[in-house]
A = this chain, B = another copy of it.
């Protein structure tokens, strides 16, 4: 690949190219471990999701962190597969919880099979992920990833109880996001450093990078829900509004709402009484209070935080790719 072609690639594509042989091993490990001797339904459901061509961002973070810090064993492969299994398990359960019909441009597993299969196959992958991480023999890794798994579930439950609640603050939103998205990004980076036996200051920096990257990523995602391109995001404009999820553009608009506007939000979000034209009115209020711009500012703050955390990490080709990745996750909303 020429240097020019290399520069034209997006950061995650450059990471994928750099980590190509590692990633091939991770993919075979995933295929090997998602098998089940007794229950063929398990690999069917898993393959539907795993082969759908997600970007494999989380396992790449683990591989990248380990490589950047000079690791040359093979436990980073197990950890990358672990991280992808945890991610896939949460997607299967999320689609049940959200009653989603589409994921990565394809019908969801709960639609193609049923909710039961999604719940149980998710449980299986979760258990398999713990088997994989146990094989690394690192109790630190187990501590970090089991803590992350608990934080993810906590964030999802918090999101559930915050839904349709107009009292949801930006702090609560941040806690939800840190749980449901940033916890796994942070742990994915951190365990790469731990397995490479990096000094604690570098491990902490990796955690901070992953956490901030995850928050920036999720804020950008939530922003696109009110102004993105369905073909690029795989989501339809206004999904969060229809599902009465409180995300930054709306939380900020509610904070600035006058009495009439508050009545509107109460009816549509709190009571869930939505009619034709309501989404357009919500978008108009978001525009009026300029909360898209304010949300974009927040995402950029987290991107800056992610990049800053990397300062203390050693020079390495991967370091620049990770830094560019932090810019890239918000470039979608530039």
Contact = CB atoms under 8 A, between A and B. Distances in A.
A153 B123 contact: yes
A128 interface: yes
Contacts of A93: 119-120, 123
Interface string A189-217: 00000000000000000000000000000
Interface string A120-161: 111110111011001001010011001101101111111011
Interface stretch (A24-32, A35-43, A258-266, A269-277): A35-43
A178 B146 CA distance: 26
A152 B147 CA distance: 22
Contacts of A161: 39-41
A96 B123 contact: no
A139 B93 CA distance: 28
Given A96-B119, A134-B139, A139-B139, A160 B127 contact: no
B97 A156 contact: no
A146 B160 contact: no
Nearest to A36: B154
A168 interface: no
Contacts of A169: none
Given A116-B97, A134-B146, A38 B153 contact: no
Interface in A85-107: 90, 93, 96-97
A158 B126 contact: no
B143 A131 contact: yes
Contacts of A97: 115-116, 119-120
List of 4 A-B pairs having minimum Cβ-Cβ separation, nearest first:
A127-B149, A124-B153, A127-B150, A130-B146
18 contacts: A38-B155, A41-B161, A42-B157, A93-B120, A97-B115, A115-B115, A120-B160, A121-B153, A123-B149, A124-B153, A126-B153, A127-B146, A130-B146, A130-B149, A134-B142, A134-B146, A137-B139, A142-B142
